[in-house]
Amino acid sequence: MRRRRPDFTRLFLAQGFATLLVALLAGLRHGHEGVLSALLGGLVSLLPTLYFVWRGLRVRGGRDPRLSVMNLYQAAAGKFGLTVALFVIVFIAVPPSNPAFFFVAYVAAQFMHWLTPWLLRERPTQRT
């Protein structure tokens, strides 16, 4: 019996929604600069998550648990490195005009990870 891979689409959508909500509030409060800061913060959270899911859940080693765990550790290290690199790039290349909205959007998108067990659970389908 083959095990189904979890679908992370809802997690990505939740992170995007949290980012857009903060960007909307930032736009109402500080205009275009606030929106840009919030969107950058959300992207700094979302891109490493995409990388982790892509890299960490690739099938390597089949049923060997050691290889699977090593793959997850490598994905986590890569996610951390990518997060640090994105923070550096954003603060050097495009300094956020409002760091508060940047960090609020980043944290809001990160908080969506707390919802991962709920977002990834199987939904029953209705039979007709």
pLDDT tens digits, the chain, 128 residues: what are they?
A: 455 666 778 888 888 999 999 999 999 988 888 899 999 999 999 999 999 988 877 766 567 778 888 888 999 999 999 999 999 999 898 877 788 899 999 999 999 888 777 766 666 555 55
How high is the pLDDT of residue 5? 66
How high is the pLDDT of residue 20? 92
Contact by Cβ (8 Å): 36, 22: no
Contact by Cβ (8 Å): 40, 96: yes
Contact by Cβ (8 Å): 79, 48: yes
